[in-house]
Amino acid sequence: MGTNRFLKAITSSLLVIVKSGVKHIRALLSGLILVLLTPYAAQATQNAAETVEEGGSTTGNLFIDTIIQSLQEIVGDGVRLIPALIAALIILLLTRYAAQAAQGVAERVGTRAIKSRSLQLLLAKSAFVGAWVLGILLAAVVSFPDLGLGDIIATLGLGSVAIGFAFQDIFKNFLAGILLLIQEPFRIDDQIIVEDYEGTVTHIDIRTTQIRTYQGEIVLIPNSTIFTSAVQVRTAFNYRRTDLGVGVDYNTSLAEASNILKSAIAQVEGVVSEPEIETDLVSFNDSSIDFVIRYWTNSQQKDVRRVKTRVVLAIKKAFDEADINIPYPIRTLYFYNQEKFNDYLEPNSVDMTVDN
């Protein structure tokens, strides 16, 4: 989709070039009309010539000769323009296949010479767009031989300014896509978080980046949004840490609980031994003393959530075997007879003496 819009933008910029050949097209159309009217024009010219000959007017002969010469020039220009237009159409048709072939060659070369998948995509897209640009320029030159290189450069310069305003967002996303492909802050199959979206990168285009959410949905994010926003790459490294909180009651031996937690988590499948497991005491809560267990797993989201489930099961089993309670929120209430107590103090019971 981004490539098609870019090609449309290039085509629009080249319309100015086409306008320079409008006079030739008009000549062609006029020539075709005149070809159809030639029998009638010839008969009318012959009749006019006979009339002038009878009248003996020299001025009339010159006027008729001028008209005939102009008609011949128009027809000649139109006929000469037909092969050029046909050649330009053939060039554009061939450009389509040439662009596809160039893209295929670039993909094969990139696969062998470049390890980065993002740079491979950039090389293929650049070859495709470059082939189309060259094909359109060549067709314009063939169609309008009077068009020089300086005219093309000047036209492209003026056209780029107009197109820049008209397609500002498209070009902004296009340039951001090129920078993302070159800098590679993330790669295909990386799992990222951008604003409110999280998922796996499936495709990086020159206009948008496509991610697949964990719920199986496709999200297309404009490259300019990714380039200007904070991006969290969750699979930037091989391993990712998970922090899991758990509380024990106030009657529990904290040192024993810490050892039990480390031993239970170390035996869980998917938890790596390096970096080592950590257990930190973080707070005295209303009904519990809280631990935070920090362990490392593979960075893929599916591995993180599956290992977390196994860790929770292992902790619960280990605490049950050691008779360690994970308490519910507890509130203690004391009941007493308020009639036996008087919180009111009489004024005379307070020493109001003031030293002089």
**Does residue 22 surpass a pLDDT of 60?**
no
- Please indicate, yes or no, whether the overall pTM of this predicted structure exceeds 0.85: no
CA angle 290, 259, 256 (to 5 degrees): 75
Q: Which range is most confident: 20-29, 52-61, 178-187?
A: 178-187
Give the model's confidence band at 149: pLDDT under 50 very low, under 70 low, under 90 confident, else very high.
low
Pick the more confident residue, 216 or 204.
Answer: 216
Query: Listing from the earlier edge strand, what are the strands of the sheet with 197-204?
Result: 218-222, 208-213, 197-204, 191-194, 231-233
Secondary structure of residue 232 in the 3-state scheme = strand
Residue-wise pLDDT for 189-215, tens only, equals: 899 999 889 999 998 887 889 999 999
The encoded tokens of residue 45 equal: 């010219």
What's the confidence (pLDDT) of residue 16?
A: 47
Which residue(s) pair with 290 in the sheet?
A: 247, 283
Query: H helices of the chain, where?
Result: 2-13, 15-19, 22-55, 58-113, 117-143, 149-166, 168-183, 223-228, 254-266, 301-321
Average pLDDT of the segment spanning 61-76 = 64
Domains of the chain, CATH where assigned: 2-166 (no CATH), 181-233 (2.30.30.60), 238-356 (3.30.70.100)
**Does residue 352 surpass a pLDDT of 60?**
no
Give the model's confidence band at 49: pLDDT under 50 very low, under 70 low, under 90 confident, else very high.
low
Pick the more confident residue, 307 or 205.
Answer: 307
Three-state SS string over 126-189 comes to: HHHHHHHHHHHHHHHHHHCCCCCHHHHHHHHHHHHHHHHHHCHHHHHHHHHHHHHHHHCCCCCC
**Whole-number Å distance between alpha carbons of 228 and 243:** 29
What's the confidence (pLDDT) of residue 182?
A: 79
Secondary structure of residue 322 in the 3-state scheme = coil
Secondary structure of residue 122 in the 3-state scheme = helix
Secondary structure of residue 298 in the 3-state scheme = strand
**Whole-number Å distance between alpha carbons of 261 and 223:** 44
Average pLDDT of the segment spanning 259-286 = 92
Burial of residue 27 (CB within 10 Å: 0-12, 13-18, 19+) is: buried
**Does residue 48 surpass a pLDDT of 70?**
no
Q: What percent of the chain has pLDDT over 90?
A: 30
**Does residue 313 surpass a pLDDT of 80?**
yes
Rounded (10°) angle between helices 22-55 and 58-113: 160
